Amino acid sequence: DTGVSQDPRHKITKRGQNVTFRCDPISEHNRLYWYRQTLGQGPEFLTYFQNEAQLEKSRLLSDRFSAERPKGSFSTLEIQRTEQGDSAMYLCASSDVTRAGTGELFFGEGSRLTVL
Amino acid sequence: GQQLNQSPQSMFIQEGEDVSMNCTSSSIFNTWLWYKQDPGEGPVLLIALYKAGELTSNGRLTAQFGITRKDSFLNISASIPSDVGIYFCAGARFAGGSQGNLIFGKGTKLSVKP
């Protein structure tokens, strides 16, 4: 399968613990995006990278959240000291820079986080 | 965060019926997109619109970019059972520095009439 891959698909953690999600984009795509989706809502933008550079961050990305894309390929999203309000689906998407302006993002299946 | 106003929130369809849904915003967008999300999956792009007034089709789906650039609608003709799911509109400005910030509606959930 050559689509966007996310791991783990599901994560249950206790409040206060740290969690990390990984995203492997479509191989020829150099833009990678993180979105968050809560129940009954549409996805909300968190941040995006072009190659290894983080070009934009949403105000939703508090200082407990950090995203990296060290070699311009896969990306990680870490949430420190998780809170119950962090429970959500974390979606990764990628796009081709020549098509990025068209909004054609390809999404992964998401990583669902439950904070107890 | 900001979200678009999408309606209806949910609707029931009978096979063969036509379906309409729309999306409005208080802000202007340069691009409108429609995605479909099935349970446990990420959104999949259905149609993208880049010009005010543009009407675009993808099989049984037709979408229009409103001339005010503040709205869009999606029609599905002759619905079939696999059309069930959640449909999201998304707007993008793609102006200035923002290249990644798609703003999504809350979704229209399509279900089959019992």
Q: Is the pLDDT of residue B100 over 70?
A: no
Q: How much is the average pLDDT of B86-104?
A: 77
Q: Is the pLDDT of residue B105 over 60?
A: yes
Residue pair A4/B44 in contact (Cβ under 8 Å)? The answer is: no
Who contacts B96 (Cβ-Cβ below 8 Å, separation ≥6)?
A: none
Task: Mark out chain A residues that contact chain B at CB-CB < 8 A.
Answer: 4, 31, 33, 35, 40-45, 47-48, 50, 55-56, 58-60, 91, 93, 100-110
What pLDDT, on a 0 to 100 scale, did the predictor assign at position A68? Answer: 96
What pLDDT, on a 0 to 100 scale, did the predictor assign at position A5? Answer: 96
Confidence band, pLDDT 50/70/90 cuts, at residue B113: confident
Tell me which residue in B41, B44, B48 faces A103 most closely, judged by beta carbons. B48
Q: Is the pLDDT of residue B38 over 80?
A: yes
Q: Give residue-wise pLDDT tens across range A89-106.
A: 999 999 887 765 666 888
Ramachandran area for residue A70 (φ above 0: left; ψ -120 to 50: alpha; else beta): alpha
Cα–Cα distance between A95 and A99 in angstroms, integer? 7
Which of B8-12, B57-61, B93-97 has the least mean pLDDT?
A: B93-97
What pLDDT, on a 0 to 100 scale, did the predictor assign at position B95? Answer: 52
Q: What percent of chain B has pLDDT over 70?
A: 91
What pLDDT, on a 0 to 100 scale, did the predictor assign at position B96? Answer: 47
Q: Is the pLDDT of residue A108 over 50?
A: yes
List of chain A residues whose C-beta atoms are within 8 Å of the C-beta of residue B43: 43, 91, 107
Q: Give the closest-approach CA distance of B59 to chain A in angstroms.
A: 18
- Tell me whether residues A33 and B88 touch, CB distance under 8 A: no
In what side-by-side order are the strands of the sheet with A19-24?
A5-7, A19-24, A75-79, A65-68
List, in sequence order, every beta strand (DSSP E) within chain B: 5-7, 10-13, 19-24, 31-37, 44-49, 55-58, 61-65, 71-76, 85-92, 103-104, 108-112
- Tell me whether residues A107 and B92 touch, CB distance under 8 A: no
Structure tokens at A105: 């993002």
Q: Give residue-wise pLDDT tens across range A32-50.
A: 999 999 998 999 999 999 8
Q: Is the pLDDT of residue B30 over 90?
A: no
**Is pLDDT larger for residue B17 or for residue A100?**
B17
Confidence band, pLDDT 50/70/90 cuts, at residue B97: very low
**Is pLDDT larger for residue A101 or for residue B35?**
B35
List of chain B residues whose C-beta atoms are within 8 Å of the C-beta of residue A102: 31, 48, 50
Question: In terms of Cα–Cα distance, which of B48, B70, B47, B72 is closest to B59?
Answer: B47
Cα–Cα distance between A45 and A67 in angstroms, integer? 13
